[in-house]
Homo-oligomer: A and B are copies of this chain.
Amino acid sequence: MKSLSELREEIDRIDREILALLNRRARLAQEVGEIKKKKGLPFYVPGREAKILSKLEEINQGPLPPESIRAIFREIISACRALEEPTKVAFLGPQATFTHLAALKHFGTSSDLRPMDSIQEVFDEVEKGRVDYGVVPIENSIEGIVNYTIDMFLDTDLKISGEIFVSVNLHLMSKEAELSKVKKVYSHRHAIAQARKWLSENLPKIEVEEVSSTAKAAELASREPGTAAIASEAAALLYDLNILAKNIQELSKNFTRFLVIGKTDSEFPSGRDKTSVMFSTKHVAGALFKALQPFAVYDVNLSKIESRPTKKKPWEYVFFVDIEGHRKEDRVAKALEELKETCSFFKILGSYPAGFKE
């Protein structure tokens, strides 16, 4: 058995080897950068980066888990890319918010992250070319879609080049200082569902009322004595509530999803992609059903469908659909082609590597 100091010497030796390889990798990345500059190619190729990560995960024999490999290589890739010029990323600010965490998680610490005051401003910065990418929230696994972001895609030609998940914990909060004083619990029905086990074990005989959002629940709890809300810490802070129990959601975590927007999508399939499309059908019975048929025919999974009224005509809807697969995959391309034919309006928002829930 080796001694502590022998093991440490070996670790130091390995670290020096890793350092040398990192710098060799960086020099190669610089050469890649020069070629790209000459040819006018983009520096950041999300599909290639996702593929690098997924290939490494495949051959990874451990003991390091895939999420650690991803975290380490995200920093390596971010650092090599920054040698050319740090990737400029606008995000919905202020600093130190969930969107900031999402941008860090995706682009690494060696990027130039710039907080913006509004989702609109993030889109503007990307459109005007002042930044390379933007990061905006798109949905929360509890509250659902961020309509403002969805609507922006109606007014712009920007594409989606990535998605990011960041976990958000749920807590029981109240103006009351003790759990025994709580006679009623408010929350969004998804949050209630996620906390059902905890509620049945800890507050079995308490009335539970569904409201439109966890923020609304927190607001009600701040006004009505004897009530509590299931919501995030941010809500507890905003409405000055006491957190009576932490992390009461089931194992399936609560995530907020963010989109990376840019002038192009992720053209290069990574092998684990999603594609987002936007379309309108004629306002006739069964139109949506018919529109979605190609996905069934070509065995393409729908991971999400949302509808939003258009601003132009009453009762005219735009549908936003996320599907599994890349637009360059055969079955996906065929399904999209057929869908397009049934639509009065059709736009591919982009194909991009699927995010990791971790």
Further pairs besides A10-B28, A23-B63, A68-B75: 7, Cβ < 8 Å: A7-B28, A11-B25, A67-B110, A68-B82, A71-B78, A95-B101, A105-B109
Contact B79 A64 (CB under 8 A): yes
Min CB–CB distance A16 → chain B (angstroms): 7
Residues of A within 8 A of B (CB): 2-4, 7-8, 10-12, 14-19, 21-32, 35-36, 48, 52, 55-56, 59-64, 67-69, 71-76, 78-80, 82-83, 93-98, 100-101, 104-105, 108-110, 115, 117, 168-169, 232-234, 236-237, 242-243
Contact A35:B79 (CB < 8 A) given known A18-B22, A56-B15: no
Min CB–CB distance A358 → chain B (angstroms): 9
Question: Which residue of B15, B48, B243 contacts A25 across the interface (Cβ within 8 Å)?
Answer: B15
Residues of B within 8 A of A96 (CB): 96-98, 100-101, 234
Question: Which residue of B19, B27, B35, B115 contacts A4 across the interface (Cβ within 8 Å)?
Answer: B35
Min CB–CB distance A39 → chain B (angstroms): 8
Contact A12 B71 (CB under 8 A): no
Residues of B within 8 A of A11 (CB): 25, 28-29, 32, 52
Question: Which residue of B7, B79, B80, B95 contacts A31 across the interface (Cβ within 8 Å)?
Answer: B7
Residues of B within 8 A of A56 (CB): 15-16, 19
Question: Which residue of B10, B22, B97 contacts A64 across the interface (Cβ within 8 Å)?
Answer: B22
Contact B23 A64 (CB under 8 A): yes
Min CB–CB distance A130 → chain B (angstroms): 12
Best-surrounded residue of A15, A22, A29, A72 (most CB of chain B within 10 A): A72
- Cα of A109 to Cα of B4 in the assembled complex, Å: 26
Contact A25 B18 (CB under 8 A): yes
Can you list 23 residue pairs at the A/B interface with Cβ under 8 Å? A4-B32, A7-B32, A7-B35, A11-B32, A12-B52, A14-B21, A15-B25, A18-B76, A19-B56, A26-B62, A64-B80, A64-B83, A67-B110, A68-B82, A71-B75, A72-B76, A74-B75, A94-B233, A94-B237, A101-B101, A101-B104, A105-B109, A115-B233
Best-surrounded residue of A17, A32, A94, A105 (most CB of chain B within 10 A): A94
Question: Which residue of B64, B117, B233, B243 contacts A95 across the interface (Cβ within 8 Å)?
Answer: B233
Residues of B within 8 A of A169 (CB): 95, 115
Contact A14:B23 (CB < 8 A) given known A94-B232, A98-B96: no
Residues of B within 8 A of A68 (CB): 75, 78-79, 82, 110
Contact A117 B243 (CB under 8 A): yes
Min CB–CB distance A311 → chain B (angstroms): 25
**Nearest chain-B residue to A62 (Cβ)?**
B23
Contact A60 B236 (CB under 8 A): no
Contact B2 A14 (CB under 8 A): no
Residues of B within 8 A of A74 (CB): 75
Min CB–CB distance A72 → chain B (angstroms): 5
Min CB–CB distance A269 → chain B (angstroms): 15
- Cα of A63 to Cα of B27 in the assembled complex, Å: 7
- Cα of A236 to Cα of B117 in the assembled complex, Å: 9
Min CB–CB distance A256 → chain B (angstroms): 10
Residues of B within 8 A of A14 (CB): 21, 24-25, 28
Residues of B within 8 A of A15 (CB): 25, 52, 56, 73
Residues of B within 8 A of A25 (CB): 11, 14-15, 18
